[in-house]
């Protein structure tokens, strides 16, 4: 691979690096600041390189946000910024009102990861999180292993702890398959392998209920453009200002790599398939992008990109009926996310 390039200085004055993975189909750039994906380009022989990922040219533009980053210790929201393990309560860093979002104010998206291995096709990053980091118990070692093979970018997330702790890792890339000049993703056809989802309250905390997607605007079991139902006056869409919900995958496939979701850009035929070992994923339609940040292609406004975040159940430590996200010292955390890109005939119906 080409030598990594300096990408800028972190808020703590450390040097962040930019790594390139490339083959004949994809060119991917990743920085060790937040372990984040900076760019993904589809290398089309006829149309040239097409940017499929929202991102920035300067490191400083990533400060304070989760664009492209590895999320941890716990992706999504934890109600009240607190939980208990084995009868002992823990108070967390609160960064979403009274709640904890994506691990707190200084979650993994805002850390400089160490590089363990880098080549033309692979990048392995490591991060150590001290006992008490953002209020979470236990010292935790985390690995993010990116691998490029043909038109698939894989991300393996692993972790080990010395005390019981909450771990729910994911990643937060924003995609726009229309390319750098596309205004938004409202025309993208979305398919999600989920018969049920987690309703939330007005703070977007799961209520504890598991609800069927049938007969609601959250039914993506067949390919559906985002625009078709995003303005529906449904309480769940009002709370989130669009889609920002956890969809539950097939129970029998949990722990094994399975197809989870698909986005398709009808005009170009570009398609993204998400595969994962996780029990579900958060689907987010970029509702809170407000034009205040300028990235590749211009200002990122509402629905400029779409995010799929495979993960465990949000707020699980506070919901005993949800599958646990507590990691114990005798268990190794290991989950896989795959992003598979393809191009079919423009206007053809998406296959499931």
Q: Which is more confidently placed, 45 or 321?
A: 321
Q: What is the model's pTM?
A: 0.95
**pLDDT of res. 197:** 98
Q: Residue 117: name the closest of 19, 10, 40 by CA.
A: 19
pLDDT one-digit tens code per residue, 111-124: 999 999 999 999 99
**Residue 218 — φ and ψ, nearest 5°?**
-100, 15
Query: How many beta carbons lie within 10 A of that of residue 278, not counting itself?
Result: 25
Residue numbers annotated as active site: 172, 309
Are 166 and 327 in contact by the 8 Å Cβ rule? The answer is yes
Tell me the sheet residues that pair with 168: 74
Residue 186: CB atoms within 10 Å: 17
pLDDT confidence tier of residue 351, bands split at 50, 70 and 90? very low
Q: What is the pLDDT of residues 113-157, one digit of tens each?
A: 999 999 999 999 999 999 999 999 999 999 999 999 999 999 999
- 3-state secondary structure labels for all residues of 280-337: EEEEECCCCCCCCCEECCEECCCCCCEEEEEECCCCHHHCCCCCCCEECCCCCEEEEE
- Least Cα distance to 217 among 146, 283, 296 occurs for 283
Q: Give the whole-angstrom CA distance, residue 243 versus residue 256.
A: 26
d(CA 54, CA 52): 7
Hey, how many other C-beta atoms are within 10 angstroms of the C-beta on 330?
7
* CB 18 within 8 Å of CB 5: yes
Q: Would you call 228 helix, strand, or coil by DSSP?
A: helix
* 76-107 tens-digit pLDDT: 999 999 999 999 999 999 999 999 999 999 99
Q: What pLDDT, on a 0 to 100 scale, did the predictor assign at position 340?
A: 98
Token pair for residue 118? Answer: 């880098």
Do residues 226 and 186 make contact, with C-beta atoms less than 8 angstroms apart? yes
Euclidean distance between the first and the last CA atom of the chain, given in angstroms as a whole number = 35
State how far the Cα of 134 lies from the Cα of 119, in Å rounded to an integer: 33
Architecture of 5-343 per CATH?
Answer: Distorted Sandwich (2.70)
């Amino acid at each position: 691979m080409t030598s990594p390039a300096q990408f800028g200085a972190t808020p703590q004055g450390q040097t962040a690096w930019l790594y390139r993975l490339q083959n004949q189909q994809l060119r991917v750039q990743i920085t060790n600041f937040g372990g984040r994906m900076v760019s993904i380009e589809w290398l089309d022989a006829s149309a040239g390189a097409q940017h499929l990922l929202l991102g920035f040219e300067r490191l400083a533009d990533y400060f304070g946000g989760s664009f492209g980053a590895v999320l941890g210790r716990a992706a999504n929201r934890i109600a009240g910024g607190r939980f208990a393990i084995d009868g002992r309560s823990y108070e967390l860093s609160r960064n979403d009102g009274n709640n904890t979002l994506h691990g707190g104010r200084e979650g993994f998206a805002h850390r400089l990861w160490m590089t363990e291995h880098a080549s033309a096709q692979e990048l392995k990053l490591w991060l150590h999180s001290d006992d008490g980091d953002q209020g979470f118990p236990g010292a935790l070692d985390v690995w993010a292993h990116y691998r490029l093979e043909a038109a698939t970018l894989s991300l393996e997330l692993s972790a080990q702890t010395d005390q019981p702790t909450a771990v729910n890792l994911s990643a937060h890339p924003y995609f726009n398959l229309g390319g750098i000049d596309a205004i938004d993703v409202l025309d993208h056809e979305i398919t999600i392998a989920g018969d049920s989802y987690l309703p939330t309250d007005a703070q977007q905390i799961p209520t504890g209920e598991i609800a069927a997607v049938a007969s609601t605007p959250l039914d993506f079991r067949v390919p559906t453009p985002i625009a078709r139902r995003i303005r529906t006056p449904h309480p769940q869409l009002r709370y989130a200002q669009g889609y920002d919900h956890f969809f539950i995958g097939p129970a029998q496939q949990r722990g094994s790599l399975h197809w989870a979701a698909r986005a398709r850009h009808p005009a170009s035929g570009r398609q993204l398939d998400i595969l994962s070992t996780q029990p579900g994923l958060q689907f987010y339609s970029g509702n809170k992008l407000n034009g205040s940040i300028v990235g590749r292609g211009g200002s990122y406004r509402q629905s400029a990109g779409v995010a799929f975040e495979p993960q465990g159940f949000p707020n699980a430590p506070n919901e005993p009926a949800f599958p646990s996200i507590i990691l114990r010292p005798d268990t190794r955390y290991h989950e896989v996310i795959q992003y598979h890109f393809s191009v079919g005939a423009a206007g053809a119906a998406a296959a499931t």
